């Protein structure tokens, strides 16, 4: 969410930012919020004057009573009543105007970083760099669920009977591989100096609206019926929410956390080849990283964080590339975002496995995450988040890039970095 003062002083910058994000329908909201803000400030001034006048009259009543001038005091009491009634109306109007201003401010997109490429949608995202050679094999790679089935590692049919579409059972070595990847990712981030955390898997609505836009909320979140609770779509939500309405001494920054959680998503609008199998599902597990830092440090952390994802995937022999999200593909709270995409030798293209985002002070403003400087100055923190790994997509990339075939049987090579988490197993062999 933007600073209202910034919008007052820079309406044309805000409007140009909206145009850069191809959200022209929001342009009238800038003038509307400024009009409401002006009304609210005028109304607040009137309320302050009424309050001050009422207090002045109340003091006069006390003085008149002390002098025994009761009739004059009674007349003044009637004035106090009139002032109080007018003040109540002004306060009600102030609350209504403030709420209208907040509703609009919650929909205005954050100011994107000048380095972000201008584009309408994800088709105009820009490749930054490739890491590792694209895997080439001399045999046809089966579809990822077929690979899992070869190792008796998946049961979607039973999951469909139990929970419906968008769920699965992982079994045996594939289930173990899934857990091994998460454990490796956890230790990888701990070794980078991050504090490990297992957060709440449900959060209240004020945290949801603090960490994401209304559009994202509607498309992703599952609501718990009859309670003010939502299932998290990613542990970033509860991890950033951990700092709601807090004042952290600057000396404690940066706050670097890595978290494990299951994630639950509606996945509205999912379609296409990548929606089959287990590309897009309603429940999965994930290792996440978040950083809360000083504003001047957030871009340095942004580069570190996506770099960690690249390093981890390369340690598992998975070729990846970084893709910069263009303006139209950025969620409203984001200042800048990179996707890390893994190479799929089956499809002959890259697909998203991690998303690294700098949100500036947008989440901090909504959630009241403040920092107290050494000189006593108080300011809003910057927040960042990035996926470490998110099976099952990570598993798809892992299986396709480490699959081997000897002419009769398939096998999956286990890179050295992962072998300790697989009990020393060097290879999974089709039975």
| Nearest residue to 258 via CA among 393, 144, 387 | 387
288 contacts: CB under 8 Å, gap ≥ 6: 234, 235, 236, 239, 258, 259, 260, 261, 385, 386, 387, 388
Task: Report how far residue 30's alpha carbon sits from residue 155's, in angstroms, rounded to the nearest whole number.
Answer: 51
pLDDT of residue 304: 98
Handedness of CA 26, 27, 32, 33 (dihedral sign): positive
Annotate 172-208 with b (16+ C-beta within 10 A) or e (fewer): ebbebbbebbbbbbbbbbeebebeebebbebbbeebb
The boundaries of every CATH 1.10.287.40 domain in the chain are 4-105
**CB 319 within 8 Å of CB 343:** yes
Question: Within 13 Å, how many C-alpha atoms sit on residue 391's CB side?
Answer: 23
- Is 44:94 a contact under the CB 8 Å cutoff? yes
- Residue ranges of the chain assigned to CATH 3.30.930.10: 122-429
SS3 state at 360: coil
Enter the pTM of the model: 0.89
Place of tokens 């286990």: 414
Residue pLDDT tens, the chain, 431 long: 899 999 999 999 999 999 999 999 999 999 999 999 999 999 989 888 888 877 777 777 777 777 777 777 777 777 777 777 888 888 899 999 999 999 999 999 999 999 999 999 999 999 999 999 999 999 999 999 999 999 999 999 999 999 988 899 999 999 999 999 999 999 999 999 999 999 999 999 999 999 987 777 777 899 999 999 999 999 999 999 999 999 999 999 999 999 999 999 987 554 444 456 777 789 999 999 999 999 999 999 999 999 999 999 999 999 999 999 999 999 999 999 999 999 999 999 999 999 999 999 999 999 999 999 999 999 999 999 999 999 889 999 999 999 999 999 999 999 999 999 999 999 999 98
Selected from 1.10.3720.10, 3.10.20.30, 1.10.10.410, 1.10.287.40, the CATH number assigned to the domain covering 4-105 reads 1.10.287.40
User: Looking at residue 276, what is its pLDDT?
Assistant: 61
pLDDT given for residue 218 in this prediction: 77
Cβ atoms of 119 and 324 within 8 Å: the answer is no
How high is the pLDDT of residue 75?
A: 74
State residue 163's pLDDT score.
Answer: 92
C-beta of residue 200 within 8 angstroms of C-beta of residue 303:
no
- Here the contacts of 219-226 (C-beta below 8 Å, separation 24 or greater) are 219/266, 219/268, 219/269, 220/265, 220/266, 220/267, 220/268, 221/266, 222/264, 222/265, 222/266
Closest by CA to 327, choosing from 15, 14, 112, is 112
CATH superfamily of 122-429: Bira Bifunctional Protein; Domain 2 (3.30.930.10)
Short-list 423, 313, 363, CA closest to 209: 363
């Amino acid at each position: 969410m933007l600073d209202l003062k910034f919008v007052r002083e820079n309406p044309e910058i805000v409007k140009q930012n909206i145009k850069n994000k191809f959200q022209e329908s929001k342009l009238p909201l800038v003038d509307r919020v400024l009009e409401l803000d002006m009304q609210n400030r005028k109304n607040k001034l009137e309320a302050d004057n009424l309050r001050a006048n009422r207090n002045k009259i109340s003091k006069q009543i006390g003085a008149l009573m002390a002098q025994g001038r009761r009739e004059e005091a009674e007349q003044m009491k009637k004035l106090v009543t009139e002032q109080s009634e007018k003040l109540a109306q002004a306060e009600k109007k102030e609350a209504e105007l403030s709420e209208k201003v907040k509703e609009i401010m919650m929909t205005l997109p954050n100011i994107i970083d000048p380095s972000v490429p201008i584009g309408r949608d994800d088709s105009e995202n820009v490749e930054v760099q490739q890491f590792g050679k694209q895997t080439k094999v001399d045999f046809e790679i089966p579809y990822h669920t077929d690979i899992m089935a070869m190792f008796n590692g998946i049961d979607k049919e039973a999951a469909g009977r139990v929970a419906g579409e968008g769920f699965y059972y992982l079994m045996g070595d594939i289930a173990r591989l899934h857990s091994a990847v998460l454990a490796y990712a956890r230790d990888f981030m701990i070794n980078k100096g991050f504090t490990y955390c297992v957060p709440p898997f449900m959060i209240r609505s004020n945290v949801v609206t603090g960490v994401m836009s209304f559009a994202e909320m509607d498309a992703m979140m599952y609501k718990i019926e009859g309670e003010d609770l939502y299932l998290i779509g990613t542990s970033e939500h509860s991890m950033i929410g951990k700092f709601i309405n807090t004042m952290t001494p600057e000396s404690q920054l940066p706050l670097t956390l890595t978290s494990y959680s299951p994630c639950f998503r509606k996945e509205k609008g999912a379609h296409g080849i990548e929606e089959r199998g287990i590309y897009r599902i309603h429940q999965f597990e994930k290792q996440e990283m978040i950083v809360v830092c000083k504003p001047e440090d957030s871009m340095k952390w942004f580069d570190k964080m996506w770099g960690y994802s690249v390093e981890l995937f390369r340690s598992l022999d998975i070729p990846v590339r970084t893709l910069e999200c263009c303006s139209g593909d950025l969620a409203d709270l984001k200042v800048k975002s990179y996707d890390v995409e893994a190479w799929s030798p089956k499809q002959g293209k890259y697909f998203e496995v991690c998303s690294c985002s700098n949100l500036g002070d947008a989440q901090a403003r909504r959630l009241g995450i403040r920092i107290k400087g050494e000189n006593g100055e108080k300011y809003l923190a910057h927040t960042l988040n990035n996926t470490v790994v998110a099976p099952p997509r990570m598993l798809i990339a892992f299986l396709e890039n480490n699959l081997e075939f000897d002419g009769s049987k398939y096998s999956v090579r286990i890179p050295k970095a992962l072998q300790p988490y697989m009990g020393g197993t060097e290879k999974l062999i089709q039975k």
